Amino acid sequence: MNRFIREDLRDFVPYNANQVACRVKLDANESPYDVPDAVKQEILAALQGEWDYNLYPDSDSTRLRGVIAEYLGVEDENILVGNGSDQLIKIIISSITGSGDRVVCPTPSFGMYKISTVIAGAKPVEVSLDDEFQYDLDKYMEALDKHKPRVAFICIPNNPTGCVLTKDRVLSIAKAFPDTALVVDEAYYEFHGTTLVDNINRYDNLIVLRTLSKAFGLAGLRVGYSVACQDLTRQLYKVKPPYNLSTFSQQAAMAILKHRDIIRKRINTIVAERRRVYNALKEMAGIKPYPSSANFILVKCDNGQEVYEKLLEDGILVRNFGSKGALSNCIRVSIGTPVQNNALLRSLKAITGGNG
């Protein structure tokens, strides 16, 4: 073991995002649709005409924040733009917690909450979902009361389970624990349709995270943003690295946000496909799909590893959660195009002998 590594990180397991060759990629909750050609041409025209590449990008993403503010109905000063939600999670934890401070997060959920907490030297407190992978509000609030965390995360819809909490229940947490920064991760908001953004000025401990990686199809450009009251946003800015979003990413984000009509149609298609795939999965033997409000479905299998490997043999890549822990024998399937989803269902039907 390298003697220079912090002792508390020597057994640390990093986030694994290895690439696997496949013909149908349904493992990372990405949009199955590329940026529209017309939007690509708009981005290229702007890049060829108005940017000086010998200069650093706008460190505050000023124009992009203006477009996001118009999209959300808030002020520019409420918004902090990051290199994906991952960077924003790190900024929030780094700016609010110190060594030994507690951070509460649900489990199973997005792994970067715990990972960023450990890297920052704070202590993660994981609160389990119930047996049906739904939020247990009483248990969550008991953990907040017991551990007095500086930060608490809630993912709505939750990744990888797809479950949600109602807005009223989330706001009851923010109200009951005003000394805890409550971070509501809305990475999959567009597939669910309910947001906490309209409450950021009522609760000064509320931070909402969003991304353009999912519904907007910009996963390859890493654009995320947080929304909070102006005072809290100013404090988070102290930790934001300079020039954290490239010129290209800023321009592409502005362009795609101006074409929300196209994105809305794609979202409607994905939501309809989610419903179709879920209903088909329910009819198959040996697997149990869980209801989802996102662009993916969690599926419990009699033998998850075998299902994963046979799907991969057929060129279909899904997320495999292994044979240990709460997600034992579970796979997560992202919702793709109708053609991709048909390929998934045909392959699963052959594997399980189901009726889908």
Six-digit token pair at 264? Answer: 């809305």
Residue extents of the structural domains in the chain: 7-30+261-352, 37-258
pLDDT the model gives residue 233: 98
Confidence of residue 254 (pLDDT cuts 50, 70, 90): very high
Helices and strands, counts by H and E, the chain: 12, 12
* Section 36-51 average pLDDT: 83
pLDDT tens-digit profile of 102-129? 999 999 999 999 999 999 999 999 999 9
Are the CB atoms for 289 and 281 separated by under 8 Å?
yes
Say yes or no: domain 37-258 is CATH 3.40.640.10: yes
Structure-model confidence comparison of residues 1 and 74, the more confident one: 74
Helix (H, G, I), strand (E, B) or coil at 178: coil
Element (H, E) at 119: helix 112-119
* Section 331-342 average pLDDT: 98
* Section 256-270 average pLDDT: 95
Are the CB atoms for 292 and 332 separated by under 8 Å?
no
Beta strand residue intervals within the chain, DSSP E: 24-26, 79-82, 102-107, 123-128, 151-155, 181-185, 206-211, 224-228, 287-289, 296-301, 316-320, 330-334
* Cα–Cα dist 208/303, whole Å: 37
Pick the CATH number of 7-30+261-352 from 3.90.1150.10, 3.40.1160.10, 3.40.50.300, 3.90.105.10: 3.90.1150.10
Helix (H, G, I), strand (E, B) or coil at 13: coil
pLDDT the model gives residue 5: 78
Say whether pLDDT at 356 is over 50.
no
Q: What percentage of the chain has pLDDT greater than the value 90?
A: 86
* Cα–Cα dist 159/89, whole Å: 15
